[in-house]
Structure 1
Amino acid sequence: MPEYALWSVVILLGLELMSYLVNEIPQRFFNPSAIPIRGKHLDVLSWKDISFITWNKFTTTLFTYHALRFCWLSPRIAWGWSEMTILNTVIAFFSLFVVYDFFYCIWHRILHVRGLYKFIHKHHHHQAAPSRGNADAVNVHPIEFIVGEYCHLLAIFIIPCHAVVAAVFVVLGGILASLNHTRYDIAVPLLFDTKAHDQHHVIPTVNYGQYTMLWDRVFGTYVPHPLSSRPKAE
């Protein structure tokens, strides 16, 4: 039990550090444009919001333990530095995000099915203009959160990779999901754009992907943010 308790403390402290850095680093070093608020901002978190956020953060300690255990025991995960190849590093890195978002898009779309929506996913959409980063990102129903988290492990199970790549995938996934719930306009062409997820909070029936809009383009559910077609001011 002491080891489990120590693991939980380390992961929870790591989450708090990540949350702080996601909010502070962009504005201190990159000064990104702000995405205009087009929906109602949830100014005050309710007891239910705080309970879900707290529970989901603790659930992360369980997920990270399972992810590490799988990577340690699976013959599909390489650990030695000499075992690094282009296939299990660079190619695997991008493949993990593509595979993850395939399953996440399907799960996210199911959560929007009429009749089911009000029981699980509606809670997350109480916030129409996310701004708190990680807090708004994990402010979801526990069922939604746990499935979304373990989609990362499913991707690692499917794509053979190096342990370092698996770790970076999980950590970077948390950072990108948090950035999706800020007002920072941050984009990497063809790969990631915070405006895409902001568009989902305004129009809930589009842009179901978490990290990439690849599958939304394939499934015909991608709608660009109004700012995407406008040149940025100098």
Structure 2
Amino acid sequence: MLDHEMDWLMWASIVGASMLVGVAVLWIVAGYYHVRYYVRRGHEPETWKCQPKRFLRPDQQRQAAILSTINLSIGGFVSGNLVYAYLQGWELPKLYTEVADYGWLYTLGSTALLFVLMDGLAYYTHRAMHLKPLFKRIHRYHHRYIATSPFVVVAMHPLELLSLQAATFLPLFVMPFHVASVIVVLGYVLVFNIIDHSGVRLVSRIPWQGPSMYHDDHHVYFHVNFGQHLMFWDRIHGTLRREGRRYGVDNFGGKGKPGAGGSEDFVKYP
């Protein structure tokens, strides 16, 4: 077989596998929550649903599933090409495969740092999407789904997906990370984003992981609770939802407007 044919097969295998993995995770995790709650317990939403009186229409469910599948395929295509370029000798992503190169302390510490960096960059990218021009032209597509469901996770404008992906990959071009660290963190981010969009009232045993109500409230109140997994960024910037404030699609800025009395303390999520 000619070298260029082998290169083409290698590229197709890597890119195809990258696209397949993301889509498979979506359908396995989202499918599990959809069947467990929306199918088997759909008759008692008040016992498990974040918004018991709101459901997506069947056509919206199908639309979200199709759009999320397409977007994860696009994301997988980009990721697969980056992996292929790296294997072909591109040295810009600062990755390594041998723990001995930097030691266990650095590898574990950098894994935690990678998670925090990716989470922070996701917060700022997401918050930028809530600036009026970007929201009206791009991010509003995702906010059509006020009642979230597992397949809503990346049902968004493709430009938003690519922006989030670019922000997520940025740390890989700044400092070295073990390949396994990148895989674990990206897997965590995708799985818990699906869970946080599930529309199911869930509280994680992982201490840093916010409850699903935290992001569900973002879809209900729009310009607030921009964080991905950590509520830290919203707390320090004052964009965590507060009692006694009015939010809505036209209240930009992340801090709402004065409401009719009541406390202005941060909402105490479980």
Q: Same fold by TM-score, threshold 0.5 exceeded? A: yes
Other-structure match for 1:162? 178
Report matched runs for 1:24-173 at 5 Å.
Answer: 34-37=48-51, 40-43=54-57, 44-45=59-60, 52-69=67-84, 73-74=91-92, 76-83=94-101, 85-131=103-149, 133=150, 135-173=151-189
- Describe the shift of the 1:129–1:3 C-alpha distance in structure 2 as closer, same or farther (beyond 3 A): same
**Which residues of structure 2 form unaligned runs of 5+?**
1-7, 38-46, 243-265
- Describe the shift of the 1:46–1:163 C-alpha distance in structure 2 as closer, same or farther (beyond 3 A): closer
Matched residue of 2:24: which SS?
helix
Residue 212, structure 1, aligned to residue 253, structure 2 = no
% identical equivalent positions: 22
Matched residue of 1:36: which SS?
coil
1:88 Cα offset (Å): 3.4
Matched residue of 1:115: which SS?
helix
Aligned length: 224
1:155 Cα offset (Å): 2.4
Conserved? CA contact 1:40–1:127, under 8 Å: no
- Describe the shift of the 1:107–1:23 C-alpha distance in structure 2 as closer, same or farther (beyond 3 A): closer
- Describe the shift of the 1:192–1:140 C-alpha distance in structure 2 as closer, same or farther (beyond 3 A): same
Conserved? CA contact 1:39–1:202, under 8 Å: no
- Which residue identity does 2:27 align to in structure 1? Y
- Describe the shift of the 1:46–1:130 C-alpha distance in structure 2 as closer, same or farther (beyond 3 A): closer
- Which residue identity does 1:128 align to in structure 2? I
Other-structure match for 1:232? none
Other-structure match for 1:16? 23
Q: Deviations over 1:184-203 (max 9, x none)?
A: 41422233432211111111
Residue 222, structure 1, aligned to residue 240, structure 2 = yes
**What is the aligned-residue RMSD (CA, Å)?**
3.1
- Which residue identity does 2:73 align to in structure 1? F
1:130 Cα offset (Å): 1.3
- Describe the shift of the 1:95–1:161 C-alpha distance in structure 2 as closer, same or farther (beyond 3 A): same
- Describe the shift of the 1:129–1:159 C-alpha distance in structure 2 as closer, same or farther (beyond 3 A): farther
Larger radius of gyration: 2
Matched residue of 1:4: which SS?
helix
Query: In 2, distance between residues paired with 1:54 and 1:24?
Result: 12
TM-score normalised by structure 2 residue count: 0.70
Query: In 1, distance between residues paired with 2:25 and 2:71?
Result: 15
Matched residue of 2:133: which SS?
coil
- Describe the shift of the 1:218–1:226 C-alpha distance in structure 2 as closer, same or farther (beyond 3 A): closer
1:142 Cα offset (Å): 0.7
Query: In 1, distance between residues paired with 2:176 and 2:182?
Result: 9
Conserved? CA contact 1:40–1:129, under 8 Å: yes
